[in-house]
């Protein structure tokens, strides 16, 4: 596992707590899993979670969540990284590196790799084979999908999240036309739309970008957004025979027992509507 247990020096014997003045120097190999590395180090020092909690003033349940990779049981990202820093410090490990690696890990989870990283963390066995298809959704992606084995006689699951603003309005419609044509009855589609796209899109994009720039992101993502009036996704899918349900972001958060933050940082996302649609078999196949 990711811990070099042979590499601590001047530390206490097994079963003793590290004294703050003569703290063990241990080396965590965080290349696989920071939480697992922390747990292995703690156990190798004979320390209980309660000992770490006492030293760091971080609640035991949060320390346990860090060890188990249960990030949904942790508070916000800065707090979580702070906890990991404190935990590593309490063990006498390199707190800066551990915190940085953990921050990268959280960043990874919140972006493209989220579903796969979650599966890896849960050590779940996937029941399907993953095949990636590199395509531009403005082009003929259904052919590429079919050529790599997609079977449109079986129900499919589609997710188009955080994507639509990167497509011109007409490509957004074409995307849903193709999905409609490829969807056997029972197929499910998860997507979302901004009711206030169009003229305000560029403005909101720039506001988001300014915020990200302040956080150190030097890529102007708003330059990738397409402006222009768009069809309302829920209406568009309903018109094509999908059984559609929509929820506001606040409702969605509420269903997961969470409160949508009211601060300005998320203002650009406040009005997003989440859409779930089921193919009924009576869709109008246009794509």
Ligand X SMILES: C[S@@+](CC[C@H](N)C(=O)[O-])C[C@H]1O[C@@H](n2cnc3c(N)ncnc32)[C@H](O)[C@@H]1O
Pick the stretch among 22-30, 60-68, 136-144, 236-244 that binds ligand X (CB under 6 A): 136-144
Residues 155-214 touching ligand X, rule: CB under 6 A, are: 161-163, 166-167
- Kindly state whether residue 78 participates in binding ligand X, applying the rule CB under 6 A: no
C-beta separation of 103 from 80 below 8 A? no
- Kindly state whether residue 269 participates in binding ligand X, applying the rule CB under 6 A: no
Please select the residue that binds ligand X; options are 138, 206, 247, 249, rule is CB under 6 A.
Answer: 138
Least distance in angstroms from the C-beta of 238 to ligand X: 23
275 CB-near residues (< 8 Å, 6+ apart): 189, 190, 191, 192, 193, 233, 234, 237, 244, 245, 246
Pick the stretch among 42-50, 87-95, 118-126, 135-143 that binds ligand X (CB under 6 A): 135-143
Residue among 93, 102, 100 at smallest CA distance from 74: 102
What's the rounded Cα separation, in Å, for the pair 168 and 166?
Answer: 7
Task: List, in sequence order, every beta strand (DSSP E) within the chain.
Answer: 3-9, 25-28, 157-160, 188-193, 242-248, 273-279
DSSP H helices in 47-148: 49-56, 60-68, 77-91, 95-109, 114-121, 141-147
Least distance in angstroms from the C-beta of 15 to ligand X: 45
Least distance in angstroms from the C-beta of 111 to ligand X: 7
Least distance in angstroms from the C-beta of 160 to ligand X: 8
What's the rounded Cα separation, in Å, for the pair 201 and 222?
Answer: 9
- Kindly state whether residue 22 participates in binding ligand X, applying the rule CB under 6 A: no
By rule CB under 6 A, what count of residues binds ligand X? 10
Q: In degrees rounded to 5, what are phi and psi of residue 28? A: -95, 130
- Kindly state whether residue 112 participates in binding ligand X, applying the rule CB under 6 A: yes
Nearer to ligand X, 30 or 274 (CB): 274
Nearer to ligand X, 28 or 164 (CB): 164
- Kindly state whether residue 252 participates in binding ligand X, applying the rule CB under 6 A: no
Question: Which whole-number Å values give the CA distances from 185 to 2, 19, 55, 151, 203, in the listed order?
Answer: 46, 64, 57, 13, 39
Which residues are paired to 245 by β-bridges?
276
Pick the stretch among 76-84, 130-138, 230-238, 264-272 that binds ligand X (CB under 6 A): 130-138
C-beta separation of 61 from 52 below 8 A? no
- Kindly state whether residue 136 participates in binding ligand X, applying the rule CB under 6 A: yes
Residues 43-62 touching ligand X, rule: CB under 6 A, are: none
- Kindly state whether residue 219 participates in binding ligand X, applying the rule CB under 6 A: no
- Kindly state whether residue 95 participates in binding ligand X, applying the rule CB under 6 A: no
Strand, helix or coil for residue 286: coil
The residues binding ligand X (CB under 6 A) are: 112, 114, 136-138, 161-163, 166-167
């Amino acid at each position: 596992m990711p811990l070099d247990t042979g590499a601590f020096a001047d530390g206490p014997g097994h079963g003793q707590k590290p004294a703050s003045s003569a703290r063990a120097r241990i080396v965590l190999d965080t290349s696989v899993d920071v939480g697992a590395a922390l747990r292995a180090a703690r156990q190798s020092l004979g320390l209980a979670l309660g000992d770490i909690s006492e030293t760091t003033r971080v609640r035991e349940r949060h320390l346990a969540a860090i060890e188990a990779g249960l990030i949904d049981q942790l508070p916000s990202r800065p707090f979580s990284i702070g906890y990991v820093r404190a935990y590593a410090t309490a063990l006498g490990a390199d707190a800066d590196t551990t915190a940085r690696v953990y921050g990268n890990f959280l960043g990874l989870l919140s972006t493209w790799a989220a579903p796969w990283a979650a599966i890896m963390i849960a050590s779940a066995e996937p029941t399907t084979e993953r095949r990636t298809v590199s395509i531009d959704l403005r082009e003929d992606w259904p052919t590429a999908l079919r050529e790599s084995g997609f079977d449109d006689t079986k129900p499919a699951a589609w997710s188009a999240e955080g994507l639509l603003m990167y497509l011109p309005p007409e490509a957004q419609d074409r995307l849903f036309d193709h999905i409609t044509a490829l969807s056997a009855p029972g197929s499910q589609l998860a997507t979302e739309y901004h009711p206030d796209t169009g003229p305000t899109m560029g403005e909101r994009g720039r506001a988001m970008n300014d915020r990200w720039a302040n956080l150190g992101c030097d890529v102007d993502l708003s330059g990738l957004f397409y402006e222009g009036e768009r069809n309302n996704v829920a209406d568009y899918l309903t018109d094509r025979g999908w059984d559609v349900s929509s929820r506001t972001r606040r409702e969605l958060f509420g269903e997961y027992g969470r409160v949508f933050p009211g601060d300005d940082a998320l203002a650009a996302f406040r009005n997003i509507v989440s859409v779930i649609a089921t193919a009924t078999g009576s869709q109008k196949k246009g794509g």
